Structure 1
Amino acid sequence: MKYSERQVSSVRILQGTAASSGIAIGPAFVAEKISPHLDRQPVRKPVQELKRMETAFAAAKQEIEQICEKACKGIGEEESMIFQVHIMMLEDETFRQEIMDRILYDHTSAEYAVWRSGRKMYDMFSHLDSEYMRARAEDMADISRRLMRCLDQPGEPEPPAYLCTPVILCLSQAVPSEIAQTNRSEILGFITQYGSTTAHSAILARGMHKPAVLGLNDAFDELHTGAEVIVDGCNGRVILEPTAQVRCRYASLQQTGGQTEQKQKQET
């Protein structure tokens, strides 16, 4: 039987942006959202904070180099170049100097200096005319998070403990390093609240051959861990808790890589 929009009208469909083709069916794992704000923390010994910051910069660079090497072996050399870009952004003199100046002259904590400077760069990228350059905001968020974590506890954190595996990983804002470090066998596909097809996380998802739908925006909040979802990476749709009939049809489409569905959608 042919698939059509009418045949899934009884279930909830969330529309996003198709970022990596294919069909994925499985339980959702909604990662905890990272707090978007950090209060200003004054310090009495800025020199000590500067030393902490230098150590964090060195640790972050080492970690990114390790991720780059892992991505090169596990995903591809071209995709791993994303993390060479991260190193360039991390070592950007303007970015580094602004962080150091906030610590030295404003007497703020290293964490706050990173958060404030990173937020400034994030906002700058987000408002650029070029879609490609706007997508670099995601990279700045990734770098800032890494620096803040290195200030607190250097070394890669333990991977998330999924309730079951494999899962469809749902992220408010996907960042490249998080995508690159996932275990392919544990991930069926990706869903994000924000993001675009030019984002490095989308490029990595395609390199991993994992279906991905990005940019659900407010509809992302309807997702919850453990719920069965279908990721339609061909048409940018997420189907929540599908009926057995809908699941069966998408499982059939899964065998053809979603090509049948794309064609039928064009015919409707």
Structure 2
Amino acid sequence: MNSSTALQEKTWTGTAVSNGVAHAVVHVLKDHFDEPDEDSIEPGTEAHQMERLHAALAATAREIEELQRVMAGEHGSAESEIFETHLLILQDSTILKQTEKVVREQHVCVDWAYYKLMCKHMDALRGLSDSYLRERFLDVKDVTQRVMRHLRGELLDHPMFDEPVIVVAHDLTPSDTVQLDRSKVLGFALETGSAVSHAAIIARSLALPAVVRLHGICDELHSGDTVLLDGEGGLMIKNPSAETLARYRVREEQAERREDVFQLERHNPSLTLCGTAICVGANAEFIEEMKIVQDSGAEEVGLFRTEFLHLENPDATEDELATAYSRVVESQSPKRVVFRTLDLGGDKVDERLALEPEPNPFLGWRGIRLSLGRLDLFKRQLRALLRAAAFGRVGIMFPMVSSVQEVLEAKAVLKTCEDELKAEGIDIPEGIEVGAMIEIPSAALSADLIAAEVDFLSLGTNDLIQYTIAVDRLNDRVAKLYQPTHPAVLRLIGMSVQAARSAGIRVGMCGEMASDLTLTPLMIGLGLNELSVATTQIARVKHAVRRLSVADCEALAQSVQKSTCPAEIRKLSRAVADRCYPELFE
């Protein structure tokens, strides 16, 4: 094999979850975790086996607490909260009881019994359709590996690097990340994961590029191989050629110059050429994102998804929730934070609710329906949100509303919570805004009735598109039918905007459409005055808004009414975008 063949370029395509480009050698983290043998034990030694497990659990707890202390010292307490979940897993009394039962009834070593039970939990989580919950199996895996190493008396391997590296792994747990010499880490490339995985969150917080779903890289790459990681295009290139490196160098220099312009103006007001204010806010779900939101130029948090905090700690008390929400509000004050109440159900399953299996969970007991059916959870959350309002501007938004009656019922519960808190001597500030999400066709068709009862509307286009066209965007067979510019979708958006205008209230959008720069002219033309987007898109969306005129956007919205083709509608909007801000597509 000649040298040119040996150094042949090879490219993997994955999913980009954190922007940036890195060029370095790789360090491959191999998973060497072996299944323990099913060894039999002598009768009467069961107690000794359980003593071994308790000692391993105690040692693991001390280890995790130390990791939590290190993370808090380096990045603040928000990011260190990841390890609270690990401690809760360790303290799960059900696991202990089940393990002891297996040891006593089957006369097997505790290593095998504990490992097998934890594997069942991992398999259950890994099989879920919700990407966030699926990623939580890594928490269980992390804890399991630590306990097993202590049972075996093994030392943990904390890799240190002599040079800057790109870390390659099948997956990456929170403690894996903490134990890495992060001063030498330039990026993460993983075989599994998603945008809500811990590795992605930490990569974004450290401003490092990260790409997930790079299938097979652990087997095909070896520590010391040279790669280029493209965290924007979702690419991993082994043995990048001089031409590839030169191309990326030019692209990076151009991107840095453009990004400098966007970032320099990111805190400026988001005004169109004609002076119309379009509020550009941030979508968020974790407390640890608040520093990023503050620096992004976001004019508000237009959507804070509260179910993720719930899923991290389903047993949180009202006081704990109030503390968490207050931290979010205080960090953004005087800017508004809009909290979406729990949007559980569908594929966001909380097993502790003991929900019965539903034939079609996306059309079942989810969102506001679940909250109204579980008033204990709903009132606990609403009371916590009302208390958090003492620290800044708060908006409360109800998800998956299908009728005005649900809004009225939810508002009645909110009023009850207000009255209870006031009776307890807790002051509730004036001006807490109440809104509803429009993400079901029936809500859009009755938006005039809903608008009369709320302070704002927010279009959740991800579900609105899915329900309107009856298509699952995650199903490859029908994904091509998932078209944001479908005339029916645009009509429902237009109806909702008109209803809000007639009622004299604001209307915004927090779905993926709001982040799509190709569609920004069309969204403004349809009358939206708030766009809530991913933090990485805020500077770019604000840049686009400043280069548009409402008149041109309204003319576009008028012209697309004559088109029946989603692709043609997108093309018309892209033409306006290309004319007004071509630099965003370079």
Structure-1-length-normalised TM-score: 0.85
Measured after TM superposition, the shift of residue 161 of structure 1 is 4.9
Q: Give the 3 Å change call, closer, same or farther, for CA 95–18 of structure 1 in structure 2.
A: farther
Q: 1:180–1:204: 8 Å Cα contact kept in structure 2?
A: no
Measured after TM superposition, the shift of residue 36 of structure 1 is 5.4
Q: How does 1:57-136 map to 2 (within 5 A)?
A: 57-136=57-136
Structure exhibiting the larger radius of gyration computed from Cα positions = 2
2:159 aligned partner: 160
Measured after TM superposition, the shift of residue 140 of structure 1 is 0.7
| 3-state SS of 2:111 partner | helix
Measured after TM superposition, the shift of residue 258 of structure 1 is 11
Q: 1:139–1:200: 8 Å Cα contact kept in structure 2?
A: no
1:11 aligned partner: 9
2:38 aligned partner: 40
Matched residues, number: 256
Report the Cα distance in structure 1 between the residues aligned to 2:39 and 2:257, rounded to whole angstroms: 51
Measured after TM superposition, the shift of residue 32 of structure 1 is 2.3
Report the Cα distance in structure 1 between the residues aligned to 2:18 and 2:106, rounded to whole angstroms: 44
2:148 aligned partner: 148
Single out whichever of 39-48 and 64-73 deviates more from structure 2. 39-48
Q: 2:15–2:213: 8 Å Cα contact kept in structure 1?
A: yes
Measured after TM superposition, the shift of residue 92 of structure 1 is 1.6
Measured after TM superposition, the shift of residue 26 of structure 1 is 0.1
Q: How does 1:243-262 map to 2 (within 5 A)?
A: 243-254=241-252, 256=255
Measured after TM superposition, the shift of residue 126 of structure 1 is 1.0
Q: Give the 3 Å change call, closer, same or farther, for CA 203–95 of structure 1 in structure 2.
A: farther
1:7 aligned partner: none
Q: 1:197–1:203: 8 Å Cα contact kept in structure 2?
A: yes
Give the residue type in structure 2 aligned to 1:111.
Answer: D
Instruction: Supply the RMSD in Å over aligned alpha carbons.
Output: 2.7
Measured after TM superposition, the shift of residue 106 of structure 1 is 2.1
1:201 aligned partner: 199
| 3-state SS of 1:213 partner | strand
Matched, 1:51 2:51: yes
| 3-state SS of 1:160 partner | coil
Report the Cα distance in structure 1 between the residues aligned to 2:201 and 2:125, rounded to whole angstroms: 18
Q: 1:27–1:227: 8 Å Cα contact kept in structure 2?
A: yes
1:138 aligned partner: 138
Give the residue type in structure 2 aligned to 1:146.
Answer: R
Report the Cα distance in structure 1 between the residues aligned to 2:184 and 2:104, rounded to whole angstroms: 44
Report the Cα distance in structure 1 between the residues aligned to 2:214 and 2:257, rounded to whole angstroms: 20
Q: 1:79–1:203: 8 Å Cα contact kept in structure 2?
A: no
Single out whichever of 18-27 and 106-115 deviates more from structure 2. 106-115
Give the residue type in structure 1 aligned to 2:174.
Answer: P
2:513 aligned partner: none
Residues 212-256 of structure 1, C-alpha deviations (whole Å, 9 max, x = no match): 111212344221211111111122211111011212332444554
Residues 24-58 of structure 1, C-alpha deviations (whole Å, 9 max, x = no match): 11001112222453332222222211101000111
Q: 1:29–1:226: 8 Å Cα contact kept in structure 2?
A: yes
1:4 aligned partner: none
| 3-state SS of 1:194 partner | coil
Structure-2-length-normalised TM-score: 0.41
Report the Cα distance in structure 2 between the residues aligned to 1:16 and 1:147, rounded to whole angstroms: 32
Single out whichever of 236-245 and 126-135 deviates more from structure 2. 126-135
Q: Give the 3 Å change call, closer, same or farther, for CA 257–211 of structure 1 in structure 2.
A: farther
Give the residue type in structure 2 aligned to 1:128.
Answer: L
| Residue from 160, 165, 172 that aligns with 2:170 | 172
Single out whichever of 164-173 and 95-104 deviates more from structure 2. 95-104
Report the Cα distance in structure 1 between the residues aligned to 2:41 and 2:117, rounded to whole angstroms: 17
Q: Give the 3 Å change call, closer, same or farther, for CA 131–109 of structure 1 in structure 2.
A: same
Report the Cα distance in structure 2 between the residues aligned to 1:132 and 1:100, rounded to whole angstroms: 31
Q: 2:33–2:145: 8 Å Cα contact kept in structure 1?
A: no
Q: Give the 3 Å change call, closer, same or farther, for CA 66–227 of structure 1 in structure 2.
A: same
Single out whichever of 241-250 and 82-91 deviates more from structure 2. 241-250
| 3-state SS of 2:81 partner | helix
Q: 1:22–1:257: 8 Å Cα contact kept in structure 2?
A: no
Structure 2 unmatched ranges of 5 or more: 1-7, 260-536, 541-581
Structure 1 unmatched ranges of 5 or more: 1-9
Q: 2:159–2:181: 8 Å Cα contact kept in structure 1?
A: no
Q: 1:99–1:113: 8 Å Cα contact kept in structure 2?
A: yes
Give the residue type in structure 2 aligned to 1:87.
Answer: L
Q: 1:15–1:238: 8 Å Cα contact kept in structure 2?
A: yes
2:222 aligned partner: 224
Q: Give the 3 Å change call, closer, same or farther, for CA 113–204 of structure 1 in structure 2.
A: farther
Measured after TM superposition, the shift of residue 158 of structure 1 is 4.3
